[in-house]
Amino acid sequence: MTHIADMKARLMALLALALCAGCTAPRGGSGESASASDDTLDDRAAALASYSRAVVAGMDGDPETAFDHFREAAENDPGNEELQLRVALGDLQKKDFSAAESRVRAYLAEPPASERSQLMLGLILRVRKDIDGALEVYRRALKDHPRSPVVRLEYASTLATLDRADEAIDLLDKGIEKADEPGGQMQLAYALAELTVRRGAKRFEAGETVEVDDAIVRLTTLLETHPDDVGLLLNLGDLHILKREVEAAVGYFVRAEEADPDNSRIRRKLTMSLLSFGDRQKAVEALEAILADTPGNLRVYYYLGDIYEQMGESEKAIETYERASLADPSATRPYIKQAYALLAESEYERAVVMLEKARSPTDDDPSILEMLAYMHLANEDYEPAGTAFRLAVDVYEQEDRQPMLSNFKLNHAIAEAMTGHPDTAAEILRGTVPDDDEQVEGFLAFAMRQDGENQTRCLEVFDRIADVLPDTFQVRLYAALLHHYAMRYETALTYFEKAESTPENPDEDERLDATFYFWYGAAAERAKQYDLAETLFLTAIRKQPDFADAHNYLAYMHAERGVKLEDAFDHVQVALAVEPDNPAYIDTLGWTYYQMGRYEDARIEITRAQELLPEDPTILEHLGDVLLKLGRVKEAVDAWVTCLDMNPENADALQAKIEEHRPALHEGNNPSPESVDRDR
């Protein structure tokens, strides 16, 4: 019942729009005469004053106070339908169903019966799950307003939810002739067609074709006066699918797509309709039969390719789109669909070859060039990607056309950045601010996934656009993380601070979560702001008490500096309770023992960590340090030499340790733990 649902949404919108009109005259339309009592005038004035206060409170962002004032206005002006319905709608939103129902019934107690109030009462009763009560309201409303398509649609919708489709269809059928406006007739016809398709599918299987045939005749008649109405065309296509008249159905689907070629919903709708034809193979056979008669009908190729994709037969889909391109080599869409199908299979090189061949027959259509650029980019062939993007931009600008994908500029900027053109990439991204912040956000997200030279190139672009970065939480967070990964810790802290102070968006989930404070704390630790780091890690732990990484990082930070070792011990124990076999956590425990002077305990834990993660240079260096403290100099030097072969970050410090203790080995000396302590 899609159209019934759409009509209900429009009903709610109309109600809200009408209610926004403010205080109007009560029943009768012209207000009271000059003989009205002073009390009545005072009540009306009080209602107007309350209404004004409500509007002001609403503008101030105080909906609760606004609602209270609207209720006061409604109590002072009980004959004002707009006010009564506004307050009833507010009660409904607050789930005070009894209050909403009582208010609307009180208004309806005085004739004449308003269609709008009856619809509101029916809605309230349906929300309360009093379906019988809602049906009674709709019956009365239909008697009072027999030509109203909205009442009839609401009534039919309620019947349909009870599986009383026969009554609903009869109700809609009679309403088409009674509706005053063509628009109302169309809405009823849509709903009738959808119900017919739903119920007719079962009855048609049993040989009952009359109902479907009647619906086709009715909609075909309407189509004569509305030849480009997409809803009519799609419903007629569905009805012919029920009759297994695929060629007729495809004809209507083609007309629907021609009427609104950019509506992707139409494509999904007609593909699913074809899939409902029976089994999928029958749909394939039917479409192939149509192509045998009309081999130049490109859209039939597209429908067939879509079905193959739905069936998971990607190679057949690609072959079908290739057949379409052979049927009309100058048409761009077959190549684009083939490219998307190849992209889904990660067949980038094959797609590139196909699109390069397509450039000549399509006269370098920019959409072909754009797709070619995406394929090169997906394959990380940045130079040809940049060339294709630049060619596409030139043609799009000459022809005053827009790219196919909304993230065209983002991808173009990435290609330029990766080919060493930071100024061009920055210019592209600057042009998206502030109208399309997601382009910059996407670039920062891409940069975060890079390392080495690629990350450096992204940072060169970032440095050129930093002054125009959008003031959004996500952009500031990405900027903070990017600088953190690039080891620009002071700058990262600046962006973390900005992100933390960004005003909250009520539509977002909690963003300042434990993970945010963990990375914020890590940047502070790297910047040697240890007190700040401790505060941030504790904030992360407060938000998520079992956040093992935060406990471990805080413990290791203390252990590395030889401070708060008891706290470090407690935190790493929590981390190990969550992940008892995590080698990093075990190493932290061992290093804490080391700083406490408990060298044998340290050796046991760090040895266990090294066995779990044998190629970690930090763990191996720690093991060497512990062995040295235990007087096992040869084993310590061996550990450091192995560690040095792993190319750790602190190679100079390791080399110094090795050079310092190698002479003792050459002399045959193996100093005692006590002498090691004195020497160090």
Q: Which position has the higher pLDDT, 511 or 428? A: 428
Taking residues 441-459, report their average pLDDT: 91
Whether the per-residue pLDDT at 662 is higher than 60: the answer is yes
Split into its structural domains, the chain has a count of: 1
pLDDT per position as a tens digit, 214-256: 778 878 887 887 888 888 888 888 788 777 777 788 888 888 8
pLDDT of 556-570, one tens digit each? 999 999 999 999 999
Give tens-digit pLDDT for 169-201. 888 888 877 877 777 887 887 787 777 766 665
Higher-confidence position of 406 and 274: 406
Q: How confident is the model at residue 112 (pLDDT cuts 50, 70, 90)?
A: confident
Contact 91, 97 (CB under 8 A): yes
Cis peptide bond upstream of 111, omega within 30:
no
Range ranked top by mean pLDDT from 277-286, 287-296, 493-502: 493-502
Computed over every residue of the chain, the mean pLDDT equals 85
Is residue 323 helix, strand or coil?
A: helix
Residue 150 lies in a domain: no
Residue 264 clears pLDDT 80, i.e. is over it: no
Q: Is residue 621 part of a domain?
A: yes
Residue 136, in any domain of the structure: no
- Residue 617's domain comprises 533-679
Tens digits of per-residue pLDDT, 397-436?
Answer: 999 999 999 999 999 999 999 999 999 999 999 999 888 8
Share above pLDDT 70 across residues of the chain, in percent, rounded to a whole number:
86
The mean per-residue pLDDT over the stretch 432-442 comes to 89
Query: Is residue 477 assigned to a domain?
Result: no
> Tell me, what CATH number does 652's domain have?
1.25.40.10
Query: How far is it, in rounded angstroms, from Cα 587 to Cα 608?
Result: 8
Of 248-262, 407-421, 511-525, 610-624, where does mean pLDDT reach its minimum?
248-262
Q: Would residue 590 count as lying in a domain?
A: yes
pLDDT confidence band for 592 (50 / 70 / 90): very high
Tens-place pLDDT, residues 463-485: 899 889 888 888 899 999 999 98
Backbone angles phi, psi at 265, to 5 degrees: -65, -35
CB 275 within 8 A of CB 283: yes
Distance CA 247, CA 237 (A): 9
Q: What CA–CA distance (Å, rounded) separates 329 from 363?
A: 11
Q: Which residues of 195-213 are buried (b: 16+ CB within 10 A; e: fewer)?
A: bbbebbeeebeeeeeebbe
Q: Distances in Å between the alpha carbon of 39 and those of 36, 44, 73, 79, 282?
A: 8, 9, 15, 15, 76
Length reported for the chain:
680
DSSP 8-state secondary structure symbol assigned to residue 25? -
Domain-located, residue 13:
no
Tokens of 31: 């207000």
Phi-psi region of 598 (alpha: psi -120 to 50; beta: other; left: phi over 0): beta
In a domain, 608, yes or no: yes
Q: What is the mean pLDDT of residues 637-651?
A: 87
Q: Are 375 and 344 in contact (CB under 8 A)?
A: no
Cis amide leading into 673 (omega within 30): no
**Does 363 map to a domain?**
no
Region 371-387: mean pLDDT is: 96
- Reported as type and span, the H/E element at residue 35 is none
